[in-house]
Structure 1
Amino acid sequence: MATFKTKNLSPVNLSLFTAMVLSIPVSIAFYIVSKNVYAGIVALAVTLLGNYLLIRFVLESFIYRKIKLIYKFIYQTKASKKEEMYYKYILPNKSIDEVREDVEEWAQQKKTEIETLRSNESFRKEFLQNLSHEFKTPIFSIQGYVDTLLNGALENPAVNRKFLENTYKNVERMVNLVSDLDEITKLESGEQPLYKENFIIQDLIKYVFETLSLKMVERNIKAGIKKGCEQPVFVFADKEKIGRVLTNLVENAVKYGSHGGNIVASVYNTDDRHVLIEISDDGIGISEEHLPRIFERFYRTDTGRSRNVGGTGLGLSICKHIIEAHGQTIHVRSKPDVGTTIGFTLEARKM
Structure 2
Amino acid sequence: MHKRIWWIVLPTVLTVLAFQFYWLVATYRDQRKTFLSQAKDALQFTYDQSFMESMVVLQMMKTNSSQKAIDSAVTDVLEDDEITFSSTIMGADSIKDSRTTVASRESMQPFLSSILSASPELRPDTQKLTNAYKKQLAARGIDVGFKLSYVNKPAHIDSTGFYVSMPLSLAMKDNQLYVRFSGTENYLLKKMSGPMIISLVLLLIVAGCIWVLWRIIIRQKALETMRSDFISNITHELKTPVAILSTINESLLTYNGMDDKVKTERYLRLSKDELNKLQAHIEEILTLSKMENGMPLAESNKVLLPELLNIVQQRFNHLPGVTITTRLDAEEVTIHTHQESLLTVLNSLVDNAIKYADKTEKRVALRVKQQEGNYLFSVEDNGIGINKEHLPFIFDKFYRVPQGNLHDVKGYGLGLSHVKELVSKLGGSIKVSSTPGSGSLFTFSIPGA
TM-score interval, normalised by the smaller of the two chains? 0.5 to 0.7
SS state of the match for residue 329, structure 1? Answer: strand
| Larger RCO, structure (CA 8 Å, separation 6 or more) | 1
State yes or no: 1:342 paired with 2:445. no
Match of 2:380 among 276, 280, 284: 280
Give the distance between the partners of 1:113 and 1:245, measured in 2 at CA.
34
Contact 1:222 1:261 in 2 (8 A): yes
The equivalent residue for 1:27 is 45
Q: Deviations over 1:80-120 (max 9, x none)?
A: xxxxxxxxxxxxxx931342243133213302321221232
Match of 1:96 among 190, 195, 211: 195
- Please give the TM-score of this superposition, normalised by the length of structure 1: 0.59
Contact 1:212 1:251 in 2 (8 A): no
Give the distance between the partners of 2:38 and 2:299, measured in 1 at CA.
72
Give the distance between the partners of 1:314 and 1:243, measured in 2 at CA.
17
The letter for the 2-side match of 1:180 is E
**Shift in CA distance, 344/102, structure 1 to aligned 2, threshold 3 Å:** same
The equivalent residue for 1:330 is 431
State yes or no: 1:180 paired with 2:284. yes
The equivalent residue for 1:134 is 233
The equivalent residue for 1:88 is none
**Shift in CA distance, 236/328, structure 1 to aligned 2, threshold 3 Å:** farther
- Please give the TM-score of this superposition, normalised by the length of structure 2: 0.48
Contact 1:197 1:236 in 2 (8 A): yes
Q: Comparing 148-157 with 112-121, which one deviates more in the overlay?
A: 148-157
Contact 1:221 1:260 in 2 (8 A): yes
The equivalent residue for 2:329 is 229
The equivalent residue for 2:408 is 305
Give the distance between the partners of 1:95 and 1:211, measured in 2 at CA.
66
Contact 2:330 2:370 in 1 (8 A): no
**Shift in CA distance, 134/260, structure 1 to aligned 2, threshold 3 Å:** closer
Give the distance between the partners of 1:239 and 1:150, measured in 2 at CA.
39
State yes or no: 1:246 paired with 2:346. yes
The letter for the 1-side match of 2:219 is N
**Shift in CA distance, 127/339, structure 1 to aligned 2, threshold 3 Å:** closer
SS state of the match for residue 248, structure 1? Answer: helix
SS state of the match for residue 204, structure 2? Answer: helix
**Shift in CA distance, 130/20, structure 1 to aligned 2, threshold 3 Å:** same
Amino-acid identity (%): 12
The letter for the 2-side match of 1:23 is D
The equivalent residue for 2:129 is none
The equivalent residue for 1:109 is 208
Match of 1:267 among 355, 365, 368: 368
The equivalent residue for 2:69 is none
**Shift in CA distance, 149/344, structure 1 to aligned 2, threshold 3 Å:** closer
SS state of the match for residue 191, structure 1? Answer: coil
The letter for the 2-side match of 1:210 is I
SS state of the match for residue 305, structure 1? Answer: coil
Contact 1:334 1:341 in 2 (8 A): no
**Shift in CA distance, 125/103, structure 1 to aligned 2, threshold 3 Å:** same
State yes or no: 1:191 paired with 2:209. no
Structure having the larger proportion of residues in helix? 1
Give the distance between the partners of 1:333 and 1:180, measured in 2 at CA.
26
**Shift in CA distance, 140/205, structure 1 to aligned 2, threshold 3 Å:** same
User: How big is the shift at 1:124?
Assistant: 1.6
Count how many residue pairs are aligned between Structure 1 and Structure 2. Answer: 283
Give the distance between the partners of 2:37 and 2:289, measured in 1 at CA.
65
User: How big is the shift at 1:246?
Assistant: 1.0
User: How big is the shift at 1:318?
Assistant: 1.8
Give the distance between the partners of 1:252 and 1:261, measured in 2 at CA.
12
Q: Deviations over 1:165-211 (max 9, x none)?
A: 77766665554444434444454x461346785856xx246325425
Structure 1 vs Structure 2 CA RMSD: 4.8
Contact 2:364 2:379 in 1 (8 A): yes
User: How big is the shift at 1:247?
Assistant: 1.6
Contact 1:241 1:322 in 2 (8 A): yes
**Shift in CA distance, 221/169, structure 1 to aligned 2, threshold 3 Å:** closer
User: How big is the shift at 1:242?
Assistant: 2.5
User: How big is the shift at 1:324?
Assistant: 4.6
Give the distance between the partners of 2:306 and 2:222, measured in 1 at CA.
34
Give the distance between the partners of 1:280 and 1:329, measured in 2 at CA.
13
The equivalent residue for 1:318 is 418
Unmatched segments (≥5 aa) in structure 1 = 1-6, 45-51, 53-93
Give the distance between the partners of 2:353 and 2:345, measured in 1 at CA.
12
User: How big is the shift at 1:143?
Assistant: 6.4
Contact 2:234 2:412 in 1 (8 A): no
User: How big is the shift at 1:133?
Assistant: 0.7
Contact 1:295 1:317 in 2 (8 A): yes
Contact 1:333 1:340 in 2 (8 A): yes
**Shift in CA distance, 183/191, structure 1 to aligned 2, threshold 3 Å:** same
State which structure, 1 or 2, has the greater radius of gyration over its C-alpha atoms: 2
The equivalent residue for 1:219 is 320
